[in-house]
Structure 1
């Protein structure tokens, strides 16, 4: 799968998780996803970054808590699952409360399904808080 296919497939998948509000950045291919809530105030769950520098899915596993190490712990799990090291692949600053999955590690349908299962579990945890 090329990176555009991964972006497109993940966009469809994230919208299918539940009622979702998403925003498109004005000058880049960047989409942010917030679960819809009648009470309002739901934080962002995921971001798809299509810019060359990023080209990844970011899961906001503990939004608003920048001191949380939850993202770092989950990052280790996803790196073991897909056999990569984000620090070797990206040079931008990594936040401790986020999880990063570069598009290029999702190079076939099996990996896409594994990623979807992983994201679905994270989404269920996110909305049950």
Structure 2
């Protein structure tokens, strides 16, 4: 993994380094209004709807509704997880397992 921190805001990005170059996997966004983790499900493909499907799945696991919590428009190829939803060890462990599974699925396909 490579961490990239932009100069203009606190939003470190996490890129997976591989033999095909780097691919953005996650961004930790923390400004005054909203703090959340963004998982880039299908980076470079803004027309993909994979993020919407996975967004629903993670909302069921962590029991939240992103539309009730956030007022900005969501990209269809990304998954948004508000940091206030990770408020217990149980939710943290659920999220950790979910991210690990998502990472393995996403990058198993890339390496083939």
TM-score, normalised by the number of residues in structure 2: 0.91
Does residue 64 (structure 1) correspond to residue 44 (structure 2)? The answer is yes
Shift of 1:21: 0.7
Conserved 8 A contact 2:17-2:23:
no
**Offset of 1:125 from its aligned partner?**
1.2
Structure with more relative contact order (C-alpha pairs < 8 Å, separation 6 or more):
1
Q: Which residue of 2 aligns with 1:12?
A: none
Query: Residue 58 of structure 1: SS of its match in structure 2?
Result: strand
Q: What do you get for the CA RMSD once the two structures are aligned?
A: 1.1
Supply the distance in 1 between the matched residues of 2:101 and 2:94 (Cα, whole angstroms).
11
**1:3-42 equivalence runs, <5 A:** 20-40=1-21, 42=22
Give secondary structure in 1 for the equivalent of 2:98.
helix
The structure that is strand-richer by fraction is 2
How much has 1:49 moved relative to structure 2? 0.5
What residue is the counterpart of 2:59 in the other structure? 79
Rounded to whole Å, the distance in 1 between the matches of 2:90 and 2:17 is 29
Q: Of 85, 102, 106, which aligns to 1:105?
A: 85
Say how many residue pairs are matched. Answer: 109
Regions of 4+ moved over 4 Å = none
Q: Is the 8 A contact 1:45 1:126 kept in 2?
A: no
Q: Please, which runs of 5 or more residues in structure 1 have no aligned partner? A: 1-19
The answer on whether the counterparts of 2:29 and 2:35 sit within 8 Å (CA) in structure 1 is: yes
